[in-house]
Structure 1
Amino acid sequence: MEYEYIRLEKKGAAAIVTIDRPEALNALNLDTLLELDHCFIDLGEDEEVAVVILTGAGEKSFVAGADISHMQDLSVIEANRFARFGHKVLKTIEELPQPVIAAVNGFALGGGCEIAISCDIRYAAENAKFGQPEVNLGVIPGFGGTQRLPRLIGKGRANELLFSGDIIDAAEACRIGLVNRVFPQQELLEKCLGLAGRIASRGPLAVRLCKEAVNNGMEMDLARACRYEADLFGLCFASDEQGEGMLAFLEKRVPEFKKK
């Protein structure tokens, strides 16, 4: 499929998805969401891709939010459908078998913040800005912000951002755990690719099972989550990957994992 609003390129085992509407600060309209959904479904089935990096075109914005011009005149039913489709797309990203790194290179507001927190890891440029300013528009976050943000940074800090609509800088976002690390703008993609390369060099099944254990375990009580982890740990021993990894450790060499 050819895309109009996103770009897809591959560098080694990493796929880079760029939301490409710089004239609209990469705001999410329905067509962009449709393209993202299609792209991530395809990437989930691409066994040559070990890690996905999601970013925005230009130096000003990752994703400035959902497209207000698209939403302004929606009916109640249309708004509900738009939110539910946004949930579907972000769930596709969140549940991708491969790890997803958000390279936040500017504004990540509203839907942009929500799409960033649907990713597994967030690296930010020093100029990045984060926030859920929907209350300034008389609405609430509609793509999972009221649910994922408290799970990520805690209820109190999330409520402060959600209720006030305040925008915070990258340093503050890092301090409260909204992003993992902050880099100069010109180094951001390089740092993301570096992390992607390290992840891609590890056992591919083990990485995917780690993601599955974290995402699914977070929705369980601790006892059930630990049993679930034990089941996945045991599953690792059915693969050649475990044998090679442990043999390489004992032989004091770098493991040679087979990529599917």
Structure 2
Amino acid sequence: LARDLAAGPPIAQRLTKRAMLAGRLLAAMANEVGKLVANDVAPISDIDDAMGLGAGFPEGPARMADEHGLGVLVETLEDRHETTDAARYEVSDGLREAAESGGFYDEADDDEGMNYEQIEVEVDGAVAHVELDRPQRMNTITPRMIDELDAALDAFEADEDVRAVLLEGAGDRAFSAGFDAASAAPEGSLDAAEMSRKGQRVFGRLEEVGMPVVAAIDGYCLGGGMELATAADVRVASEAGQFGQPEHNLGLIPGWGGTQRLKHVVGEGRAREIIFTARNDYDAETMYDYGFVNEVLAPDEHDDRKWELARDLAAGPPIAQKLTKRAMLAGRDDTDAGLELEASAFGHLFTTDDVWEGLAAFQQDREPEFEGE
């Protein structure tokens, strides 16, 4: 038996053991959460917030348990209780009730609109302001945060008054230091691949959304955080900005579009340098020289300028901006397709009121007031 096990696939065996241990740990945490809920100690959201701030579980154990599946966790506890007869594995009433009702959180509430927990969203005039809101964890990115960004983009596209997006990180330490591998690591290769595809799709929406997106960078912009900034249309950075794609130091590669999008911003040679050297200390001036950053600003200028730029872009012609993004994206790998879309868009725009407003404003030497019509 020992020799048979020794002949097995070591990586798969190691990952299987890790996944089983992780499942047991999550089951135990979910059980304790169930006890707190059953005893009316605190609302479920408060429990998750407290664990996120003080125990290194930014998504919160209840949210993590819901995503894992409470039915699976109940079965894990029942198996351990049957095997060990230890009291700590006895399923709590709160956990069992939550499993029967479909989760600690009410999915119906989520369906009415995303409850933002890891980003802050505010619309200021025509600018949608998104702040990655995990300053205690350097605004590191979790699957939950990606879902919230996805929902926020849905809301912006449905709001005709939103004409630009300003994206930044909370606090002054980081735009985002990347993926939160400490508390949201995938359980295996399939889970990792799916998480990669989700990030690729949602970050890609910044390129596709029909309005300009400004990334305002202050502090660390590393790994997945840099991949997120890469998908923006314009990037401004404070002098304190620090950049890099250090995934190779972990034996990984950028997984949220970095191997594809970065080369279109800085050129393939610079993209290879940034990824292969795995440095995490590129300063803002260097990234300006590379073409990644559009402006480098002194700390006392950064806040005013990011808003000035976002508002200037929001005042632009929304139909032309949307079609420009489409044409540039279409031509990324197929110049002929991009040129054809450019020609079609050019013709279409002559049927819009915005063109005549732009021409009239030019003749009258005034600022145009585009309505997106």
- TM, length-normalised to structure 1: 0.94
Residues 88/70 of structure 1: CA separation in 2 closer, same or farther (3 Å cut): farther
Given that 1:199 and 1:207 are in contact with CA atoms closer than 8 Å, whether structure 2 keeps it comes out as: no
Give 1:99's aligned amino acid: P
* CA distance in 1 between partners of 2:223 and 2:278 (Å): 9
Bigger Cα displacement from structure 2, 245-254 vs 135-144: 245-254
How much has 1:257 moved relative to structure 2?
2.2
Matched residues in 2 for 1:95 and 1:70: separation? 30
Q: In the alignment, what sits opposite 2:161?
A: 48
Contact 2:327 2:339 in 1 (8 A): no
Among all aligned residue pairs of Structure 1 and Structure 2, give the percentage whose two residues are the same amino acid: 39
Q: Does 1:196 align with 2:328?
A: no
Q: Which runs of 5+ in 1 are unaligned?
A: none
Q: 2:236 matched to 1:123? A: yes
Contact 1:41-1:92 at 8 Å conserved across structures: no
**8 Å contact from structure 1 (residues 48, 259) kept in 2:** no
Residue type of the partner of 2:312? R
Preserved contact between residue 210 and residue 321 of structure 2 (Cα < 8 Å)? no
Q: Find the aligned partners of 2:363 and 2:158 in 1 and give their Cα distance.
A: 34
Structure 1 segments (4+ residues) deviating >4 Å: none
* Counterparts of 1:93 and 1:187, CA distance in 2: 25
The structure 1 residue matched to 2:200, chosen from 67, 73, 87, is: 87
What secondary structure does 1:54 align onto? Answer: strand
TM superposition shift of 1:73:
5.4
Correspondence for 2:347: 234
Deviation at 1:258, TM superposition (A): 2.2
1:138 deviates by 1.0
Deviation readout 1:208-243 (Å, 9 max, x if unpaired): 22222222222322x443232111111101111111
Q: Secondary structure at the match of 2:340?
A: helix
User: Unaligned stretches of 5+ in structure 2?
Assistant: 1-113
CA deviation vs aligned residue, 1:91-140 (integer Å, no higher than 9, x gap): 12221111100001111100000000010100011111111000111111
1:171 maps onto 2:285 in alignment: yes
Q: Are positions 1:246 and 2:365 aligned together?
A: no
Aligned residues: 259
Distance 2:366 2:175 in 1: 40
1:216 and 2:330 correspond? yes
**Pick from 213, 217, 225: which aligns with 1:112?**
225
Is 1:23 matched with 2:167? no
Which of structures 1 and 2 has the bigger CA Rg? 2
Greater relative CO, 1 or 2 (CA 8 Å, sep 6+): 1
What is the deviation of 1:187? 2.3
Give the 3-state SS of the residue equivalent to 2:334 in structure 1.
coil
More strand by share: 1
1:75: which partner in 2? Answer: 188
